[in-house]
């Protein structure tokens, strides 16, 4: 049996790091972990090929030579998925579709996808494989209960060209104990977090090490700290021991909730494990909007103190922010800017409020006739599938101005220096500087230091870090490169706003 696995392309978004990837000669930020996991269930006698369209072109011959095409995608990959499925339809090759996009929107693809895997795939694969072998494949394979991920095997890394990626990814848990109104994680992963064992995590880390990987690893968990006691008792001590015995070949990053700041022991253990970045859904400094979003874990915390405390333990706090809540006043754009700027949140992903399928917000707004179709999944396209309470033109214009201000070089480098000034450099051994990192630095001198709009700020931060805090010099270079990507994304938004104004005049 010949199986072609396809991961559709995603547009140039905030998290795509498209403009930054060329500095390190990489093609994509992260690999398609879902497909790599599902691939482990397929019989070894089957011929399996994976095409990540973010790294290589999908060839017609690849489709024609397949017995089945397996496709998995997220919402942001909807348009690319449609194009892939149409090609398969044209060549008469049956499509098996699974993952978040198809689980939440099977009706969107009802006329084009042959077979659906709805829900988590692990417990479904046995029946699907048997039916494929017997040529009796059913239209739908549905798993309503959440699976036991303690039985999930190590992803099939040998399907990848590791050199194409800036980071690898593994998963420790699924689900989140919180119930934010705008979030669909409850529908996709449940509100009772499920975890893998410490042995599973060490096996996955070891498998990447054995495959030759030596860079960063993203724990893709929606909330890594959903079960703090298990982390502190089993998983983190095992990671620390492994990292020490291998001289810290990896750095880790993940997503956490703001209550991370409440647990000094947890922060210390994660730092010792090699974690140096955490993404936190901060959303907004406005308490009324937080109440509206059912984000009570944030209301209970002093957000500024929590961010500063997390930073003091050696973590970069990457923040998620939202504008467009019903409670938002026109002053929200300045409030968001001041909050982000004053707290040194260098990487601030600001998006318009959207309602994904599966969220409480989606159902509420559908009942209020305030939905404008489906969300795009692109976090910086200035699009929303919600009819907002604020004047829509003012909302979009204010949003674009906010992003532009945040990633204006002067403002970006100012909060970068603010962060690096308080950043606690980890005390574990650093891996040797790679050739690609040296190349990235040289490219940054050329593109940013000589020809870039940020050249003045670029040299100021490098000079400051070299003489005042040399241990953060490499961080300063990395952030400068990230800043270039964010600036280009912001400029793209600004151009679209100018076109809108011109068209209206």
Domain annotation for the chain: domains and CATH numbers = 2-142 (3.40.50.280), 167-391 (3.20.20.70), 422-504 (no CATH)
> What's the confidence (pLDDT) of residue 495?
80
Give the pLDDT score at 428. Answer: 78
Structure tokens at 457: 């700020």
User: What is residue 503's predicted lDDT score, i.e. its pLDDT?
Assistant: 47
pTM of the model: 0.95
What pLDDT, on a 0 to 100 scale, did the predictor assign at position 435? 87
Regions of the chain with pLDDT less than 70: 497-505
387-443 residue pLDDT tens: 999 999 999 999 999 999 999 999 999 999 999 998 988 887 777 788 889 999 999
* Residue 444 · residue 477 · CB < 8 Å: yes
| 6 strand-pairing partners | 51, 71
Say what the pLDDT of residue 393 is.
Answer: 96
Task: Check residue 85 and give its pLDDT.
Answer: 98
Output the pLDDT for position 502: 40
Radius of gyration, CA atoms only, the chain = 23
User: How is the beta sheet containing 217-219 ordered, strand by strand?
Assistant: 168-170, 217-219, 252-256, 275-283, 316-323, 348-352
Helices 409-422 and 303-312: angle between axes, nearest 10 degrees: 60
67-78 per-position pLDDT tens digit: 999 999 999 999
Each as own residue / partner, the long-range contacts of residues 449-455 (CB below 8 Å, 24 or more positions apart, any chain) are: 452/484, 453/409, 453/487, 454/409, 454/412, 454/413, 454/480, 454/483, 454/484, 454/487
pLDDT of residue 499: 53
pLDDT of residue 498: 52
pLDDT of residue 323: 98
Where is 256: in which H helix or E strand?
A: strand 252-256
């Amino acid at each position: 049996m010949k199986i072609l696995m396809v991961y559709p392309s995603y547009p140039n978004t905030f998290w795509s790091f498209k403009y930054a990837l060329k500095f390190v000669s990489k093609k994509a930020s992260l690999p398609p972990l879902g497909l790599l996991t599902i691939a482990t269930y397929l019989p070894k006698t089957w011929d399996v090929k994976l095409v990540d369209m973010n790294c290589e072109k999908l060839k017609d011959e690849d489709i024609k030579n397949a017995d089945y095409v397996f496709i998995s995608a997220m919402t942001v990959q909807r348009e690319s998925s449609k194009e892939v499925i149409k090609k398969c339809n044209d060549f008469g090759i049956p499509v098996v579709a699974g993952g978040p996009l198809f689980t939440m929107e099977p009706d969107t693809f009802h006329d084009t996808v042959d077979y659906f895997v709805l829900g988590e795939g692990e417990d479904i694969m046995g029946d699907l494989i048997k039916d494929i072998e017997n040529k009796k494949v059913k239209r739908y394979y549905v798993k309503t209960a959440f699976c036991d991920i303690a039985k999930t095997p190590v992803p099939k890394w040998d399907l990848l060209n590791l050199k194409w990626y800036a980071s690898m990814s593994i998963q420790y848990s699924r689900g989140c104990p919180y119930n934010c109104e705008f979030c669909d994680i409850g529908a996709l992963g449940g509100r009772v977090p499920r975890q893998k064992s410490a042995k599973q995590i060490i096996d996955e880390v070891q498998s990447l090490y054995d495959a030759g990987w030596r860079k960063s690893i993203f724990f893709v968990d929606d909330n890594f700290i959903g079960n703090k006691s298990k982390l502190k008792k089993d998983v983190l001590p095992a990671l620390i021991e492994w990292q020490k015995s291998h001289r810290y070949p990896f750095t880790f990053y993940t997503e956490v909730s703001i209550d991370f700041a409440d647990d000094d022991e947890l922060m210390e253990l994660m730092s010792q494990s090699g974690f140096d970045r955490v993404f936190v859904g901060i959303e907004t400094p406005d308490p009324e909007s937080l109440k509206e979003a059912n984000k009570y874990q944030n209301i209970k915390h002093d957000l500024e103190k929590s961010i500063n405390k997390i930073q003091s333990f050696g973590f970069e706090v990457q923040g998620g922010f939202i504008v467009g809540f019903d409670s938002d006043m026109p002053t929200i754009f300045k409030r968001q800017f001041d909050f982000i700027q004053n707290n040194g949140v260098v990487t601030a992903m600001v998006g318009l409020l959207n309602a994904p399928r599966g969220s409480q917000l989606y159902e509420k707004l559908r009942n209020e006739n305030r939905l404008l179709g489906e969300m795009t999944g692109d976090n910086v396209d200035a699009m929303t599938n919600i009819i907002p309470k604020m004047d829509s033109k003012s909302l979009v214009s204010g949003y674009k101005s906010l992003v532009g201000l945040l990633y204006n070089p002067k403002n970006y480098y100012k909060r970068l220096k603010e962060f690096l000034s308080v950043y606690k450099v980890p005390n574990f051994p650093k891996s040797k500087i790679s050739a690609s990192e040296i190349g990235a630095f040289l490219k940054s001198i050329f593109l940013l230091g000589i020809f870039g709009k940020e050249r003045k700020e670029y040299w100021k931060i490098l000079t400051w870090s070299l003489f005042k805090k040399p241990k953060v010099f490499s961080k300063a270079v990395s952030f400068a490169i990230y800043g270039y990507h964010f600036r280009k994304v912001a400029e793209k938004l600004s151009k679209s706003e100018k076109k809108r104004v011109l068209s209206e005049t």
